[in-house]
């Protein structure tokens, strides 16, 4: 096997996720030679961009995708929720690592129930902001940018009373001690693909495809492909106010979905159960029900 170059963003979280891939590959092929290449994306360079109003679906991936296509790297490690739902031509997802816990978490000194009226909550996600505002309309939602450590520092400096983050990222960085509250999915439905790590490769690299097949986590693949198919059916990207989490056990599935209009004036929540054989019908029914939010 040739030496493999792995492309990644340079944040601590991105590097921690890349290390998870390298460990998985080393476990099945101890002699494998891997090199990490850090690539800055537009989202890393322009921190003033508002993520909640950003139409660019490749904000954190485009520069990495370009190097993958050019052959400068052999594969790329992505947080799946940052990756556009349709792979660019000539590429594919070669593997998904086993998914971590999908919930969002609250970072701060008080739980949601303890925070006072007018408390300032930081998030860059419409999905989180809309769902939180529906249940806690007395909070002030304020956008926040930066990597995990930067956001925590802003909160600890007093700019925010609390911030919402993904549980998986906090755990991968060893920051579970900062978590004040794990948010139930019934309160804030996670983003499609949240907590999943995707390995992006060229689709003509059959040697690498065969290698990655050995570390591909099939349950994770089933779950995230359902979630992202729903996202694609609604025409969305990672900024869409859509929450969707699929739990796949054996041949049984449970899906929770939240979807809102862009102005947050209308929203819908659904929880459905179906067998694998009913997947297509369940998807069609969900899409029809969710599109009523747009039609009103």
Complete edge-to-edge strand list for the sheet that includes strand 120-122: 140-142, 120-122, 162-166, 104-108, 179-182
Decide if 39 is inside a domain. yes
Decide if 224 is inside a domain. no
Decide if 129 is inside a domain. yes
The phi and psi torsions of 153 (rounded to 5 degrees) equal -65, -40
* pLDDT at residue 200, as a whole number: 98
Decide if 267 is inside a domain. no
Stated pTM of the model: 0.91
Question: Which of the residues are catalytic?
Answer: 82
Domain that holds residue 149: 104-182
Query: What is the sign of the dihedral through the CA atoms of 230, 233, 237 and 239?
Result: negative
Decide if 10 is inside a domain. yes
* pLDDT at residue 38, as a whole number: 97
* pLDDT at residue 235, as a whole number: 87
Number of domains in the chain: 2
Q: Whole-angstrom Cα distance, residue 159 to residue 293? A: 34
Q: Are residues 72 and 203 in the same domain?
A: yes
Decide if 51 is inside a domain. yes
Q: Are residues 200 and 88 in the same domain?
A: yes
Q: Are residues 68 and 93 in the same domain?
A: yes
Q: Are residues 89 and 112 in the same domain?
A: no
* pLDDT at residue 88, as a whole number: 93
Decide if 166 is inside a domain. yes
Nearest to residue 81, comparing CAs of 210, 259, 245? 245
Q: Are residues 35 and 143 in the same domain?
A: no
Decide if 261 is inside a domain. no
Q: Are residues 90 and 109 in the same domain?
A: no
* pLDDT at residue 57, as a whole number: 60
Q: Are residues 165 and 206 in the same domain?
A: no
Q: Strands of the chain (E only): list them.
A: 4-8, 34-38, 75-79, 91-96, 104-108, 120-122, 140-142, 162-166, 179-182, 197-202, 242-249, 252-260, 267-275
CATH number at residue 140: 3.40.190.10
In order along the chain (296 residues), what is the average pLDDT of each group of 10 residues?
93 96 97 96 66 60 93 96 91 98 98 98 96 98 94 97 98 97 97 97 97 98 98 84 96 97 93 97 96 76
């Amino acid at each position: 096997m040739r030496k493999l170059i792995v492309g990644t963003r340079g944040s601590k979280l991105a590097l921690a996720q890349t290390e998870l891939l390298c460990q998985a590959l080393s476990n099945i092929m101890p002699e494998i030679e891997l090199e990490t290449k850090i690539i800055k994306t537009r989202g890393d360079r322009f921190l003033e961009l508002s993520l909640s109003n950003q139409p660019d679906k490749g904000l954190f991936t485009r520069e990495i995708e370009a190097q993958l296509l050019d052959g400068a790297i052999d594969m790329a490690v992505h947080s799946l929720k940052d990756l556009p739902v349709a792979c660019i031509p000539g590429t594919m997802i070669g593997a998904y690592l086993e998914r971590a816990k999908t919930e969002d978490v609250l970072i701060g000194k008080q739980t949601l129930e303890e925070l006072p009226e007018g408390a300032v909550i930081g998030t860059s996600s419409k999905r989180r902001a809309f769902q939180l505002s529906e249940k806690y309309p007395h909070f002030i939602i304020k956008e926040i940018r930066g990597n995990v450590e930067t956001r925590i520092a802003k909160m600890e400096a007093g700019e925010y009373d609390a911030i919402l983050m993904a549980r998986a990222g906090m755990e991968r960085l060893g920051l579970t001690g900062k978590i004040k509250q794990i948010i139930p999915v019934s309160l804030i439905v996670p983003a499609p693909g949240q907590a999943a790590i995707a390995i992006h490769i060229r689709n003509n690299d059959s040697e690498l495809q065969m290698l990655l097949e050995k570390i591909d986590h099939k349950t994770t693949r089933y779950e995230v492909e359902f979630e992202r198919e729903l996202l694609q059916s609604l025409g969305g990207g990672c900024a869409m106010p859509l929450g969707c989490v699929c739990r796949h056990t054996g041949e049984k599935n449970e899906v929770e979905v939240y979807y809102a209009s862009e102005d947050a004036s209308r929203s819908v929540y659904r929880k459905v159960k179906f067998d694998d054989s009913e997947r297509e019908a369940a998807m069609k029914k969900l899409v029809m029900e969710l599109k009523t939010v747009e039609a009103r």
